[in-house]
Structure formats: structure tokens, C-alpha cells
Amino acid sequence: MSLIQQASALLRQNQFAAEKLVRFLHHLSSQRARTPQETRAFFVAAGDWLADGRVDDLKSLEMVRVLVAYGKVRVRHRLVMGQLGERLTRLVPIFDRPVHLANIAGTFSTLRLPSPALFHAIAQRLPHFQPTAFEPVDISELLQAFTRLHTNPQISHSATVMDHLADVVRDRRDSLAGDQIALVINAYAAVGGRKDIVRDMQGTVVKRLGGDGPSERGREGGRRASRFFTTANLALILNSSAKAAPPDPSHEFLASVAGALKGYAAEDFNAQSIALTCHALSKLRFYPADLISYLCDMVILPSDPRPSRPSAKWGPVRSFPASSFPHHQREEATSPTTRDPLLQSFPSQELSNLAWAIASFPHLHQRVMDGVVTYVERHADKMPPLHLAMTVSAIGLYNSLAAVEHRSTVPDTFAARCLENFRAQPDQYASRGDLTDMMRHIAALEARLPLCDCRLAHLFFARYERCFGALPVDGHGDDCGAVAARIRARVEEGKDD
């Protein structure tokens, strides 16, 4: 009988003391469970047991530990969470360290259980702490919690908290790790405003990169930067800066980050960090030719089946044989057996972001776009509709800007494969935001791509125009219904050709 089975038996027999259950829940949440379903089932049973009049037996810090345990295993037991929320709302004024409030706010926002009264109490309590009382991890957790909730009309005080945390960040910025600096910039980019704190963080990034700043080159520059940042951190910092406070292309911050990225070894990058870096550079209209060429070379060279070093934001993915880049090679690297180019193992979202970035760069990168077309030919039937529309539209944009005939932009079988995809996933993109984004890309298809791709657009509008016929697609008064009518007419004309 496993440990969880023994604990379940004690719970059923009502032989578990509340404080021992708290310790056991904490222990389980801190382990990598070999049987996650069994663990989740135990958390559900424990929640039922606690909610049966036993929450009041817990001390204040025990309530926090129970809450954090449920957050770690992602079990949203509404009954026990509701009782914990009510008790903790009354107890917030007695907590003497920000870490407890960060744990409470982080768990409730992660489990999507907004409690207006609880968050209002936390917002009132936070200004009573001095900036030095906040550990970097507390700042990260509070920023993430209130960023998730800033669009919730019930949590009207999130802007006040974000302003207070900006002062804390400024005071504690020298203590923040690279991933925390990235998170700060990303948080203030998401909520808008406070460009001052974003500029401060950009200055901190330049300071951390050190060395010769923008002129730093080669492996030593990458090693210096890697003490503070992963490539995923720097990619997120660039992308968030483009949204929050885009610097001038000649700004020292951009030159420093680009110089540092060129010094990282190829195995330090993965699909997400490459795609996000390119996406950010295109949004910033900053085109360091040697960095872009380095990133483009990565995605078309054969990849290494060994996992790369995990990054702070994303797990390990296939990386590159270091021997492909002799000037960035690590001393201990060996040449492994190669596989398909890394581009072919990209997730579809990263593929679509990379395609749009490549299409917007001032120099042509034909081999990368050839790889994008190959990806679409192989995976169109598995790509979500939004990513598919973005990718094909990017190919069309690349063709129109390049003024060259790209290799069979998309084969004639493409529309039929898309039809199967849409039929299999009719409700995958049912939110207004995703549909609006997709319509924008579909509208671009209308002008750029041949008839086979208009059939794709026609298919999309035929499915959704009844519900979303009046949604604008291009910001100029055009709407879904009007574009659908034009596409339908073009399709009908094509039948007569």
C-alpha cells in the first residue's frame, strides 16, 4: 500500500490530525508525484475533509501552507478555497511579512479564484511594509498575481498595488535575478503605464550585461551575460520593452542586449527564445544583421536530439550540435548525430511568430521561409487555425515584399487540408480576441495570396460570420461580413477560370 493510500485510509477513518494533514499536503505538493492522478484525488478528499468544519482548527500560517499546497498541484477545490479565503481576509492585517501575502495572492490568482474582499485587504496591507521587507520572490509573485487580475473589474485596486510595487522594485532592483527583471518588465508592459520603471529596468539590464556594452563580442560576452540572464530572459525583456517603452533603435539598451545574445552558444537557445527574439526585433524595428543571421542559421541547421539546458521560462527542447558554430563552441561539446532542422520541431505558435518576423526583416532569408513552407506542408492539418492563418499570411507578405515567385507558396491540396482541420476543431477558437486576430490575418490573405488561400479565408468566414459578422478586421471600418462577401465573389470567379 502506497503512502497516499495509507493516508487516504486514515482520512476516511477520521484519524488524521489537522496539523499532520497540513504537513502531509505540503510534502506531497513539494514532490514530483509519480502518480499525479492519485495525488490529485487525495487533495480532493482532503479538501472535503477540511471543509467539513475543520478549517477553523488551523492556525493562520497553516492555512497559508494548505493554500500554497493546493496551488502547486493545481487543484481548485472551491469549497475549501472559499472557506480559506474568508478566514484569511480577516487575518491579513496580522501577517507581519510580505511573503505570506504574496503566497495568498499568487495562489488565488493562479487557481483563477478572484476574491475581491481578500485582494482589497492585501492591497491595503502591502503599503505598511518597508521595501527592504520584500524578497525578490515576493515581488515576482505579487506582480504576477495582480497582473493576472488587472482586467478584472471586481479588483479595482490592482493599479494602486502595481504603483506601490514599482517603488519596491526600484528600491530592490539590485537584488533581482535575471528572470525577475524580465518578469517586472513584462508585468508593467501588460498593465500599461509606468514607463519610468521599465526604463529603470532597461538600465539595470545594461548594467548587468557589463563588459564593453554594445561592443562586447564572442564567447566571453555570452558567458558574462549568462551569469544573469538566459536567452529566454533576454527575449522576454526585448519583447516586453517593445510593448511597454520601445527605445530608439540606436539606444544603448538594444545594442547591449543584441551584443550579449550574439555571444551565447547555440545550445543556449531554443525554439521559444529564437522566435520571441526575432518577433521582438521586428516590433522594435531594430535589425542587427549579424544577430539575425546567427538566429536564422540556427533554425535551418540540423538539430541535436539531446535536450538543451532548461531555461527559466521554458523547459528543454531539441538544440543544436555545438560543432555547427565553431566560434561559439563549448570546450566540452561533441558532435552528435543530427536530425531535421530545428525549425521543423517548432511549436506552431513559435513558427507563426518567426514567420512574421522573417517577413518583416529588411533582408531576405529565403532558406528560412523555405523551411516555413515545408513545415506548413507537413503540419497544416495539426496547426490551430489562428497559427495557420498567421503563417500563410506571413508567407504571402514575404512574397509580396521580395517580389519573387516563392516556391509554390502553398500546394493546391492546402485548402482541402485546412477544411479537415476546421471540421475537426470547430470551436477551438471561440473567443472574440482570437477570432479578431485571425480575421486580421485572413483579411491580409485576401490581397496577397492566390485563390487556393482565398478558399481558406472563405471557409473561415462561412463558419463564423453569422456570430461575428460585424467585428472589425482592419481598424478602418471594414468588417467580417464585407471581407467575406469579397472573398466569396473571388472564389466564385475562380470557378469560371
Vertex 64, ends 62 and 69: CA angle to 5°?
A: 95
Q: Where are the alpha helices (DSSP H) in 409-469?
A: 414-424, 432-448, 451-468
pLDDT for the residue numbered 323: 34
Cell reading at 25: 499536503
Nearest-angstrom CA–CA distance, 11 and 78 = 19
The tens digit of pLDDT for each residue in 5-39 reads: 888 888 888 878 888 889 999 998 888 666 788 88
Q: Are 256 and 206 in contact (CB under 8 A)?
A: yes
Cell reading at 433: 480576441
pLDDT at residue 284 tops 60? yes
- Reduced to 3 states (helix: H, G, I; strand: E, B; else coil), residue 319 is strand
pLDDT for the residue numbered 87: 93
Cβ neighbours of residue 164 under 8 Å, at least 6 residues apart?
Answer: 126, 127
Taking the CB of residue 11, how many other CB atoms lie within 10 A of it?
A: 18
Q: Are 343 and 353 in contact (CB under 8 A)?
A: no
pLDDT for the residue numbered 213: 45
Rg over alpha carbons for the chain, rounded to the nearest Å, is 26
Domain ranges of the chain: 176-346, 360-497
Vertex 465, ends 460 and 466: CA angle to 5°?
A: 135
Q: What is the mean pLDDT of the chain?
A: 76
Least confident residue range of 173-182, 351-360, 448-457: 448-457
Nearest-angstrom CA–CA distance, 336 and 318 = 12
Cell reading at 18: 489537522
Q: Are 338 and 321 in contact (CB under 8 A)?
A: yes
pLDDT band (50, 70, 90) for residue 240: very high
pLDDT band (50, 70, 90) for residue 250: confident
Mean pLDDT of 103-127: 89
pLDDT at residue 392 tops 80? no
Q: Transcribe 347-382 into DSSP letters.
A: -HHHHHHHHHHHHHSSS--HHHHHHHHHHHHHHTTT
Strands 318-319 and 304-307: antiparallel
Does residue 113 or residue 304 have the better pLDDT?
A: 113
pLDDT for the residue numbered 379: 84
HSE (CB half, 13 Å, CA atoms) of 368? 30
| Residue 57 buriedness (CB in 10 A; 0-12 / 13-18 / 19+) | exposed
pLDDT for the residue numbered 30: 85
The tens digit of pLDDT for each residue in 458-479 reads: 555 555 554 444 545 444 445 5
The tens digit of pLDDT for each residue in 122-174 reads: 999 999 999 999 999 999 999 998 888 777 766 767 778 888 999 999 999 99
pLDDT at residue 203 tops 60? yes
pLDDT at residue 276 tops 90? yes
Nearest-angstrom CA–CA distance, 196 and 200 = 6
